[in-house]
Amino acid sequence: MTRIVVTGAAGFIGSNIIQGLNARGITDIIAVDDLTQGDKFRNLADLAISDYVDATDFYSDFAKGAFGTVEAVFHEGACSDTMEHNGKFMMANNYAVSLQLFEAAQVRKVRLLYASSAATYGGSSVFAEDPAHEAPLNVYGYSKLLFDQKMRATLGAQFERAHSQVVGFRYFNVYGPREQHKGRMASVAFHQFHQFQAEGRVKLFADYGGYAAGAQMRDFVFVDDVVAVNLWFFDHPQTSGLFNLGTGRAQPFNDVACAVVNSARVARGESARGLQVLVEQGQIEYIPFPDALRGKYQCFTQADLGALRRAGCDHVFADVGQGVAAYAARLPTSA
């Protein structure tokens, strides 16, 4: 039986990857996390795993071979709070631990599929996997970039010198089920859904950065698509490298708000409405851009999927309308 390790297993993407593995009949899964935030257990409660190991113990034990023959590690464990200012904490969690895991995986010939981030691009206007376009705006983005740089320095520009598969995924704006524990770091879609349930309206930032109200654009990617791409690389163990994982299509926050509001309207038997009507009816409202985010905010992101397509992955991604509707159908109908 195939044995898999998933770090950050009780987190958003980690738990969805376990669900995807379970759907394939893979249940010999070692779930690694820190459950100090105890309510994250809910993300594991309906999943099939073979063991749970606290993150404090896992990495040194893994290096000693404590878990027997492991086929692959999906490394999703990290501090993903982009507003965390403690650089020492961030580098220990996101860089040093990842490096320890990588070195052990190469020695033991275990495949490593790890979470990088589109935050590595920061203030760039081009989102292709090239050092020329990497300009993180915060220590979170830098912690992810430094590990990517270490992989390039150790394995070659395309990770071609890896002893076993190493794949880094630069996640763009991921949304979907199992993110409820993330608080302020949960997706825009999550917060808007609950805001609409509570207040009957969705609030968006007004004009900023040369963009009109609600027109700032991000590459929003549904978590089901993130899982599908992870599993595509799991099925192609000879393919290594660093890859963007987004849809390749930037959409404005207005699109997300419309999809959220209209999903709720349709669910209660009302017809969908266009942006202008929703604004006129007060179901979408614009608020001043917060001073705390000025200079630290990406107004535009759009994954360049060239490397992903050249690798042979032709997965078709959901757009915001499709993804948000599927997400809303799985959320409770009250905040």
Category of 17 on φ-ψ map: left (φ > 0), alpha (ψ -120 to 50) or beta: alpha
Cα–Cα distance between 114 and 242 in angstroms, integer? 10
Q: Which of 95, 114, 140, 142 is catalytic?
A: 140
Contacts of 85 (CB under 8 A, 6+ apart): 139
Cα–Cα distance between 48 and 42 in angstroms, integer? 13
- Rounded (5°) CA angle 80-74-94: 35
Q: Residue 48, Cα to own-chain centre: how many angstroms?
A: 22
Cα–Cα distance between 83 and 290 in angstroms, integer? 14
Cα–Cα distance between 25 and 156 in angstroms, integer? 35
| Residues 256 and 189: beta-carbon distance below 8 Å | yes
| Residues 133 and 126: beta-carbon distance below 8 Å | yes
- What crossing angle do the helices spanning 223-234 and 320-328 adopt, rounded to 10°? 100
How far CA 230 is from CA of 79, 99, 204, 224, 314, in Å, comes to: 20, 20, 31, 10, 13
Q: Residue 314, Cα to own-chain centre: how many angstroms?
A: 19
Cα–Cα distance between 51 and 74 in angstroms, integer? 15
Q: Which of 150, 182, 211, 297 is catalytic?
A: 182
Q: Is 182 one of the annotated active-site residues of the chain?
A: yes
Q: Which residues are catalytic, by number?
A: 140, 182
